[in-house]
Amino acid sequence: MARRRYLYRGRILALALEDERWEIVEHKDAVAVLAERDGRVLVVEQYRVAIGARTLELPAGLIEPGEAPRQAARRELMEEAGFDARLREVLSFYTSPGFTDERITLFYAEDLTERRRPPDPDEALTVRWVETERLLADLHAGRLRTSSPTVAGLLWLASRR
Amino acid sequence: MARRRYLYRGRILALALEDERWEIVEHKDAVAVLAERDGRVLVVEQYRVAIGARTLELPAGLIEPGEAPRQAARRELMEEAGFDARLREVLSFYTSPGFTDERITLFYAEDLTERRRPPDPDEALTVRWVETERLLADLHAGRLRTSSPTVAGLLWLASRR
């Protein structure tokens, strides 16, 4: 029987050793939102502490206790960009199942409605609409510093053409 | 100035707090290999301790010290499936930059050559060639338990059609 011994329990993750051998990170599940309008995709430019650099990513965030994934996605889209939408689940996957149980669900936003102005851009986070073709070209050229749900979302769009 | 305090340093990862606030997992970089032949993709079925379940994933692994990503990908393809190939870099991304610096590079295998029989299937790991269309259908239907590089690889294939 597998035994999991916890070395750390924190705010968004816990670290454990399974059978005194496997390093496991338990992590809250997450959501990401793919919103496209007029040939542009909604992306967030932000500084990521873990990699010490700025990224361009689909809006994303953690699922809070008691939330359904779809609710979390809707909340993130509103908080980060000021939009409401009808959300369709596209796919889900484990980000890196070799060491963490984090699972992310990607939603596609339909019937986008602007409810309020997006937050003022600041150093921490800027919302932008970037041409889908440019994002795909940058991805293929190795010029896009981004996350796994962003790659999944962009390639999903490209595969539907 | 950011300060990173280490709480754990292990075999494949380290856990740190940045500015006593951000939970960061430093993780070795990784590679994955997309090999397709006769309309089938090479996948590995294996038990993943972190999620407590079996997955179907592209062959993947960590980059060892001193290895270039391409070397690591070639080694993984040989070790897990017994194939050699010419490897073309397709794309790379951070698996989950909200908490970890793990970056994965995806390679596409051309000119596949079988060098030896794949290891005998066992409980831990089984190599299979599965129809690309079936994997894509399962992914879209939410029936594929898999990793981010696998999703990226399958959608990249689908986008090239």
CATH number at residue B146: 3.90.79.10
| Pair type for strands A103-114 and A30-37 | parallel
pLDDT tens-digit readout, B36-48: 999 999 999 999 9
- Inside any domain, residue B13: no
- Inside any domain, residue A13: no
pLDDT tens-digit readout, B105-146: 999 999 999 988 766 666 678 999 999 999 999 999 999 999
- Inside any domain, residue A149: yes
User: Per-residue pLDDT for B19 more than 80?
Assistant: yes
pLDDT tens-digit readout, A75-108: 999 998 999 999 999 999 999 999 999 999 999 9
Confidence category of residue A119, pLDDT binned at 50, 70, 90: low
- Inside any domain, residue B66: yes
Question: Is A148 an interface residue toward B (CB < 8 Å)?
Answer: yes
User: Where do the H-state alpha helices sit in A4-147?
Assistant: 69-81, 132-140
- Inside any domain, residue A86: yes
Q: Is the ipTM of this complex over 0.90?
A: yes
Determine the distance in angstroms separating the CA of B10 from the nearest CA of chain A, rounded to an integer.
8
Determine the distance in angstroms separating the CA of A135 from the nearest CA of chain B, rounded to an integer.
13
Contact state of B12 with A99 under an 8 Å Cβ cutoff: yes
Interface of B with A in 92-131 (CB under 8 A): 92-104
Q: Are B5 and B19 in contact (CB under 8 A)?
A: no
- Inside any domain, residue B24: no
CA angle (B124 as vertex; B120, B130 as ends), nearest 5: 70
Region A111-137: what's the mean pLDDT? 86
Give how many domains chain B has, as a whole number: 1
| Contact residues on chain A for B158, CB-CB shorter than 8 A | 155, 159
User: pTM to 2 decimals?
Assistant: 0.96
A67: domain range?
Answer: 28-94+103-159
Question: Is A22 an interface residue toward B (CB < 8 Å)?
Answer: yes
**What is the Cα–Cα distance from B43 to B127, expressed in whole angstroms?**
6
- Inside any domain, residue A14: no
Determine the distance in angstroms separating the CA of B143 from the nearest CA of chain A, rounded to an integer.
9
- Inside any domain, residue A9: no
Per-residue b/e over B66-77, b at no fewer than 16 CB within 10 Å? eeebbebbbebb
Least confident of A54-63, A115-124, B101-110: A115-124
List the single residue in A7, A24, A93 with the smallest CB-CB distance to B50.
Answer: A24
DSSP notation for B28-96: --EEEEEEEETTEEEEEEEEETTTTEEEEE--EEEPPTT--HHHHHHHHHHHHH-EEEEEEEEEEEES-
